[in-house]
Amino acid sequence: MKITVDEDKCCGAGQCALIAPEVFDQRDEDGVVVLLDAAPGEEHHGAVRESAQVCPAAAITVDEDA
């Protein structure tokens, strides 16, 4: 799995940082997403998929085959 995030799209709602805190964080100054781990282990895949699904700004892209 390979993750990319689009900082320009992100509205800092924090859904990802709530659901998968090992993978996503937020910049302190404006809440924009910080990708902590672009290729997280198997155990995080479920939470990453859920984060991408509930992200309100479609700022998280998950490539399952990479």
Q: What is the distance between the alpha carbons of residues 8 and 48, in angstroms, rounded to a whole number?
A: 19
Partner from other proteins, ligand SF4, none binding residue 30, C-beta < 5-8 Å depending on class? other proteins
SS3 content of the chain, % helix, strand, coil (to 5): 25, 20, 50
The site map against other proteins for 29-58 (x = CB under 8 A) is: xxxx-----------------x--xx-xxx
CB 51 within 8 A of CB 23: yes
CB 30 within 8 A of CB 12: yes
Query: What does the binding site for ligand SF4 look like in residue numbers (CB under 6 A)?
Result: 5, 10-16, 24, 26, 33, 55-57, 59-60
What residues line the site for other proteins (CB under 8 A)?
9, 11-15, 17-19, 21, 25-32, 50, 53-54, 56-58
